[in-house]
């Protein structure tokens, strides 16, 4: 039986706050990693890495979420529901608006695209790289999880003309039997062999009379997902699934980087570790603030316990006590996921996490490469922000503030 989710310690309201945070954190992984790919391989190779990374992971984690929340299907509505629960499309920061014409025809637009606003200051080459070169193959790859005859095609997209054009982009989604099937992606087959993809999580409890709220997403497509409307058990499962999305993306990213380092393991490890350090700090800051966790060592250890680095519990084994976290060898180590990059001799991701709570805190890790413990101590000196964290914070997503919204069912136009 899989370990109890670490998110099961949270209330329903806390989980409803945390889930959109986790979705946004997943999107920011690239803001942390791609800068180091540019510096090592150049802009064009960075674009190719991003394509391979998302195409190799998104069809897999999309299928997992469909099964978990009981909305498997072959139509446009299924595709749109999947996007609403995808780290590539976090709510509000990537503000998808959906229109359904019928089961096989739909449209979406982005009223706000945080990713676009991040890259527009970098120039038109970067905008085209993201909105043309990356989006074309990766949107089709995402739809592949639902129907291999789905096609996602632009109505308009950046570079924006005029420069303040809204919505930022608009796309059609058409499923037609005359469309040739989208090819499977070689990297996806490799990632599908991972323990992350095969990880078994506790099922959503649908029998507990005290479990108020939706246990799945089998009902109508909603304009905005109201996470507070889900049951506590469903939210625990969603949070764990979103963390697995991150691990699958990271594994796919590792494959893409490895193919370009030409056997230079040190370079590969450096890029992957810098990516982790950056997102570790930003994620910790957002989780700590969103859940209003306490300060000091207690708050830092609680933040670490809820951090994607250590979740889900069925994938990353760790024993959490009041003053210590003990990490053990787990499926995540075997996959070479994030936790395999952390050890007593490689502790900067841990330092980034505790410093996000209070820069005067330090993490003290002792043990072996795959079995170690960490304590948090207070010092009199504030640590300087790590450069990898500063790079990730270039994205407006690092400081994004979610707004309350009404969730309305979308009907066929």
Using an 8 Å Cβ cutoff, are 318 and 333 in contact? no
Residue 48, classified by CB atoms within 10 Å of its CB into exposed (0-12), middle (13-18) or buried (19+), is: middle
Residue 269: its pLDDT value, please? 97
The closest alpha carbon to 36, from 26, 23, 45, belongs to: 45
Residue 3: its pLDDT value, please? 60
Residue 1: its pLDDT value, please? 39
- Structure-derived torsion over alpha carbons of residues 155, 409, 217, 210, reported in degrees to the nearest 10: 150
Query: pTM for the whole thing?
Result: 0.96
Residue 183: its pLDDT value, please? 85
Residue 154: its pLDDT value, please? 96
The pLDDT tens digits for 172-189 are: 999 999 999 988 888 999
Q: How far apart are CA 201 and CA 123, in angstroms?
A: 43
Q: How far apart are CA 225 and CA 410, in angstroms?
A: 11
The pLDDT tens digits for 276-326 are: 999 999 999 999 999 999 999 999 999 999 999 999 999 999 999 889 999
Using an 8 Å Cβ cutoff, are 372 and 346 in contact? no
Q: How far apart are CA 52 and CA 158, in angstroms?
A: 22
The closest alpha carbon to 32, from 228, 235, 230, 284, belongs to: 284
Task: Tell me how many helices (H) and strands (E) the chain has.
Answer: 13, 8
Residue 94: its pLDDT value, please? 97
Distances (CA, A) of 37 to 32, 50, 260, 261, 283: 10, 10, 10, 11, 21
376: left (phi over 0), alpha (psi -120 to 50) or beta: beta
Residues of the chain falling short of pLDDT 70? 1-3, 209-210
Residue 322: its pLDDT value, please? 83
Residue 210: its pLDDT value, please? 66
- Across-strand partners of 361? 378
> What residues contact 182, with CB distance under 8 A and at least 6 apart?
140, 141, 143, 144, 148, 149, 150
């Amino acid at each position: 039986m899989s370990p109890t989710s670490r998110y099961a310690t949270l209330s329903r309201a806390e989980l409803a706050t945390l889930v959109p945070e986790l979705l946004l954190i997943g999107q920011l992984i690239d803001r942390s990693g791609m800068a180091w790919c540019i510096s090592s391989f150049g802009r064009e190779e960075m674009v190719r890495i991003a394509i391979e990374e998302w195409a190799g992971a998104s069809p897999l984690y999309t299928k997992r979420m469909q099964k978990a929340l009981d909305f498997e299907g072959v139509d446009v509505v299924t595709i749109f529901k999947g996007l609403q629960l995808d780290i590539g499309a976090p709510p509000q920061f990537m503000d998808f608006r959906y229109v359904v014409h019928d089961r096989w025809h739909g449209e979406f637009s982005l009223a706000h695209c945080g990713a676009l606003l991040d890259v527009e200051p970098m120039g038109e080459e970067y905008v085209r790289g993201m909105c043309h070169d990356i989006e074309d193959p990766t949107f089709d790859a995402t739809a592949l999880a639902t129907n291999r005859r789905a096609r996602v095609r632009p109505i308009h997209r950046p570079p924006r003309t005029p420069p303040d054009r809204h919505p930022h982009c608009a796309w059609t989604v058409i499923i037609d039997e005359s469309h040739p099937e989208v090819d499977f992606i070689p990297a996806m087959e490799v990632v599908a062999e991972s323990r992350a993809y095969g990880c078994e999580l506790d099922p959503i409890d649908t029998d507990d009379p005290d479990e108020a709220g939706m246990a799945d997403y089998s009902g109508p497509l909603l304009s905005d997902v109201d996470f507070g409307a889900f049951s506590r058990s469903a939210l625990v499962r969603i949070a764990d699934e979103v963390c697995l999305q991150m691990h699958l993306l990271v594994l796919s990213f590792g494959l893409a980087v490895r193919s370009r380092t030409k056997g230079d393991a040190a370079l590969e490890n450096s890029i992957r570790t810098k990516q982790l350090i950056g997102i570790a700090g930003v994620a910790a800051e957002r989780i700590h603030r969103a859940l209003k966790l306490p300060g000091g060592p207690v708050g830092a250890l609680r933040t670490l316990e809820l951090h994607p680095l250590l979740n889900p519990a069925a994938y990353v084994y760790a024993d959490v006590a009041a003053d210590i976290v003990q990490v053990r060898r787990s499926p995540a180590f075997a996959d070479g996921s994030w936790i395999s990059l952390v050890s007593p001799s490689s502790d900067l991701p841990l330092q980034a996490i505790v410093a996000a709570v209070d820069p005067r805190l330090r993490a003290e890790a002792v043990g072996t490469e795959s079995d170690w413990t960490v304590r948090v101590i207070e010092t009199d000196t504030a640590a300087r922000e790590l450069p990898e964290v500063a790079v990730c914070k270039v994205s407006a997503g690092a400081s994004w503030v979610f707004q309350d919204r009404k969730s309305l069912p979308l009907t066929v136009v």
